[in-house]
Amino acid sequence: MTLVKDPVCGMMVPPDGDRMALHKGRPFRFCSELCKAAFLKGPEKYSIGHPNGGLPSHGTRRIAYFSMEVALASAMPTYSGGLGVLAGDTLRSCADLKLPLVGVSLLYRQGYFQQSLDEMGSQSEQSVQWDPARFARSLPGTVEVTVEGRAVLIRAWQCDIAGQSGHLLPLLLLDTDMEENDPRDRALTGSLYGGDERYRFKQEIVLGFGGIRMLRALGYTELQRFHMNEGHAALLTLELLREGNSEQNGWDFNGVRDQCIFTTHTPVPVGHDQFSYDLVKEVLGDTMPVDLLQMLAGQDRLNMTLLALNMSAYVNGVAKRHGQISQEMFPGYTIDSITNGIHSVTWTAPSFQELYDRHMPGWRTDPFSLRYAVGIPNNEIQAAHVVAKGRLLEEVTRRTQTSFDPAVLTIGFARRATLYKRADLVFMDIDRLLELTKQVGGLQFIFSGKAHPKDGPGKAMIRRVVSIAKQLHPHIRLVYLDNYDLALAQLLTAGVDLWLNTPQRPLEASGTSGMKAAHNGVPSLSILDGWWIEGHIEGVTGWSIGPGPAEPGVDTSHEARELYDKLQTTIMPLYYRSHERWLDVMRQAITFNASFFNTQRMVQQYAASAYV
C-alpha cells in the first residue's frame, strides 16, 4: 500500500484512512482530527498542488522579479539584448535552484524587430509575428490600470520555465491587447523600445502598477521581495505604497523599502529613464499625488533610477567596477555589487556539453564544478572546439555564401551596434591590420549586432564595418551576419577562436558575451572594463587591451595600437606556433571563468544578500 502525505503535518498516512476531506474534487488524508480541522480552515495555505503535497502552491512564492525584457528563446522576441538575456538566464537559474520566485514582464506581440542588412550594410527593421500560445498559456482574469483617464485592462500569459530537475518557475507576461481596450491601449504591449517616451511611460505603468495588481489577483499572497531588474519597473514601489496607505498610518515608506531590491545596469546618467511631470500628470492623472512623486523621484523630472534608489533597501551594480561607479554617481546611497553571470547549460555548445558530461558529471546543476575542467586533456578540448567552429562556419556559408577557412584564427565581435561598443576600433589602422595577416596564418572576422531603430550612429557603424569588409577583401575575410539573436549568439560565442570586446571605458557595466565564450573555452581579448576586470588574468584566461581600471584613460589610437601589438606579438604566435599553449588558455578560460561567471553563482549571491 502506498502511503500519502498529510498536507498539514507532512506525516505519511494510509490512502484509505477515515480522516479525509475533499478539496476542489481531490481527496486529502490526515493523521489526526487536529490536522483535518486545520486544513478545513484554510486549504489554500497548504501544499496541495500535488497529491503527495509535493509541489508548493503559488502562494508560497516569496520573490517577484520584474524586468522590462526577458530572453528565453529566439522565436520569442521579447528581448532586445543584454538586459533581457540576463533576465532569462536569471530565471533559468532560479528554476534550477528551485527558488520561490515569480517573474513579471510584458508580452510584446510585435517583439523587438527583425534586422536585415543590404549590400551596403544599411539596416532595415521588420516587426516580428509570433504566436504567444506556443510558449505560454493565457490565464483567466484581468486587472486594470488608469492611463490618460482611461481604464486599461491587462491580462497575463504564463510561461513555465523548467529547471534542470523539472521544477517549473512561472513567468507572467502582461498583455493589453484585449477587445475591451481603446486601440491606443491595445498597442501598449506591442513593441519593445518602440514608440516615444509617452508610450514608454505607459508601458512602465503596465509593468509596475499592472504587474503588482496581477500578482495579487493571481493569489501570490506571500510575496516579500520585489526585485527590479533596472529602473523600468520602479513604479511598482508606488503601487506597494498605495496598497499600504491608510488614513491612520499614512505612507509606509520603510515597510515598502524593506521589500524592494534594485539592480542598476547603466553607468551613465543619460541612460536612466526620466519623464517630465507634465507628461506624468497627463498620463497618470490624479492617481498618484505629484508632490509624493517629486519627493521620491526628483523635483524636476520623474527619474526612475532615483525612485528605485529611494525605495529599495538593497541596491547593486552588475560588476565590481560598475558598483563603484554607481556609488560615485549616487553618493549617499549604499550600492553593493553582484557580478553578472550567464546560464551555463544554455550557453555551452553541444560538443562541450558532452565533454563536460564525461569529465564533470553534475556540472549542469552545479556549474561550480566546471573548475575541474583543469583536468581535461588538450586534445579533447581541441576536438570539442573543432565541432563548435565547424557548426559556426557552416552557418556563415549558409547565410553569406562565403567560405571561411577552419585553420585560420577567427575573431568574433557581436553585440548591440551602438557607438560606445566601438565595433570599428580594430579597423582604425587598416594597413597595420593587413600587415598582420602577412604573418603565418592570417585572420578572419565574424561580426553581428542590431542597432536600435533610432540609433543613427549605431547604424552608421554597421555600414562602416560592411564597407571595411570590402576593403579587406581578399586578404582578410569579414562577414557581418544579420539579425543577432540567442541562437546566433550561441553559435558565435562557441565557434570563434577569440572573442573581441572594445567598449569605451567605463560604459560597459558588465557585458556577458565574453562569459558565454569562456564556457566554450574561447578566450577574450578585451578592454579592461565591466566583468573583464574580474575575469582577466593576462595570458591565462585571455588578454587585455589598454590601461588597467585604476589607470588614466588613453586615446583611441593608443588602444588600437595595443590591440594590434597583442595580436602580432602574443596571440597569433600562440595560436599558430604553440597551439598546445593556446589550448591551455582555452582550458583555463573554462576553469577560472565558466566556473564563476554563471547565473547559478550570481543568483546565490542575490539570495544571500538581497532575498533573505
| 416 close to 83: Cβ distance less than 8 angstroms | no
Residue 513: CB minimum distance to ligand PLP, A: 3
Residue 180: CB minimum distance to ligand PLP, A: 35
And the C-alpha cell for 558? Answer: 593608443
| 449 close to 415: Cβ distance less than 8 angstroms | yes
The 3-state DSSP composition of the chain as helix, strand, coil percent (nearest 5) reads: 45, 20, 40
From the list 7-15, 253-261, 512-520, 582-590, the region that binds ligand PLP by CB under 6 A is 512-520
Per-residue binder mask for ligand PLP (CB under 6 A), 28-67, x = binder = ----------------------------------------
Helix (H, G, I), strand (E, B) or coil at 123: strand
Helix (H, G, I), strand (E, B) or coil at 479: strand
Per-residue binder mask for ligand PLP (CB under 6 A), 415-434, x = binder = xx------------------
From the list 80-88, 243-251, 281-289, 541-549, the region that binds ligand PLP by CB under 6 A is 80-88
* Residue showing cell 505519511: 12
d(CA 470, CA 479): 10
From the list 144-152, 154-162, 405-413, 507-515, the region that binds ligand PLP by CB under 6 A is 507-515
Residue 178: CB minimum distance to ligand PLP, A: 30
User: Which of 93, 237 has the CB closer to ligand PLP?
Assistant: 93
602 lines the binding site for ligand PLP (CB under 6 A) = no
The answer to whether the bond into 503 is cis (omega within 30° of 0) is no
d(CA 101, CA 57): 12
From the list 35-43, 104-112, 323-331, 480-488, the region that binds ligand PLP by CB under 6 A is 480-488
Among 7, 53, 77, 82, binds ligand PLP (CB under 6 A): 82
Residue 417: CB minimum distance to ligand PLP, A: 10
Residue 516: CB minimum distance to ligand PLP, A: 6
486 lines the binding site for ligand PLP (CB under 6 A) = yes
Among 69, 273, 485, 529, binds ligand PLP (CB under 6 A): 485
505 lines the binding site for ligand PLP (CB under 6 A) = no
From the list 156-164, 180-188, 384-392, 479-487, the region that binds ligand PLP by CB under 6 A is 479-487
Helix (H, G, I), strand (E, B) or coil at 301: strand
Indicate the helix (H) or strand (E) that contains 351: helix 350-359
Indicate the helix (H) or strand (E) that contains 315: strand 314-317
Helices 290-297 and 236-244 cross at an angle (nearest 10°) of: 130
482 lines the binding site for ligand PLP (CB under 6 A) = no
Residue 338: CB minimum distance to ligand PLP, A: 16
And the C-alpha cell for 226? Answer: 520585489
Site size for ligand PLP (CB under 6 A): 13
Scan residues 83-142 and list those touching ligand PLP (CB under 6 A): 85
81 lines the binding site for ligand PLP (CB under 6 A) = yes
From the list 21-29, 31-39, 376-384, 478-486, the region that binds ligand PLP by CB under 6 A is 478-486
User: Which of 364, 415 has the CB closer to ligand PLP?
Assistant: 415
d(CA 211, CA 208): 5
Give the alpha-carbon dihedral of 454, 458, 461, 462, to 10 degrees. -70
Nearest 5 degrees, angle CA 610-CA 341-CA 534?
Answer: 100
511 lines the binding site for ligand PLP (CB under 6 A) = yes
Residue type present at position 136: A
User: Which of 339, 512 has the CB closer to ligand PLP?
Assistant: 512
512 lines the binding site for ligand PLP (CB under 6 A) = yes
Residue 512: CB minimum distance to ligand PLP, A: 4
Indicate the helix (H) or strand (E) that contains 336: strand 335-337
Please give the backbone phi and psi of residue 317, each rounded to the nearest 5 degrees, phi first: -95, 175
And the C-alpha cell for 381? Answer: 578540448
Count of CB atoms within 10 A of residue 193's CB?
17
Among 115, 142, 189, 513, binds ligand PLP (CB under 6 A): 513
Alpha-helical regions (H) of 168-319: 183-186, 197-205, 211-217, 236-244, 253-257, 277-284, 290-297, 304-310
And the C-alpha cell for 398? Answer: 549558409
Residue numbers at the binding site for ligand PLP (CB under 6 A): 81-82, 85, 415-416, 484-486, 489, 511-513, 516
